[in-house]
């Protein structure tokens, strides 16, 4: 049974996944937002490096650039704080 929101992508499909924010802590222990960005397979499993960015605009720009450079779909579930 497919998970809710699952997509029927080919098995060799790759996309740039951009999600967040999630809670993280800075060096003083204060809560700060972090966005996650990576190239993943049809099951949203990372295939390469997972990036954690602390600025939404920078994360958005990197996600778009990665998608354009690799000619793959951008799957954006991220929102600003």
Query: Do 59 and 53 meet the contact criterion of CB atoms below 8 Å apart?
Result: yes
Q: For residue 20, give both structure tokens.
A: 């967040």
H or E element, residue 79: none
Nearest to 35 by CA among 47, 50, 48, 49: 50
Tens of pLDDT, residues 21-72: 999 999 999 999 999 999 999 999 999 899 999 999 999 999 999 999 999 9
Residue 8 has pLDDT above 80, yes or no: no
User: Is the entire prediction scored with pTM above 0.85?
Assistant: no
Tally the residues of the chain: 81
Confidence grade of residue 7 (pLDDT, cut at 50, 70, 90) = low
Confidence grade of residue 10 (pLDDT, cut at 50, 70, 90) = low
């Amino acid at each position: 049974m497919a998970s809710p929101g699952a997509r029927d992508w080919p098995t060799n499909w790759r996309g740039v996944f951009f999600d967040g924010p999630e809670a993280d802590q800075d060096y003083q222990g204060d809560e700060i937002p972090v966005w996650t960005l990576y190239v993943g397979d049809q099951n949203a499993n990372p295939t390469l490096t997972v990036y954690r960015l602390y600025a939404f605009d920078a994360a958005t720009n990197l996600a778009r650039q990665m998608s354009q450079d690799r000619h793959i779909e951008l799957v954006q579930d991220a929102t600003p704080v």
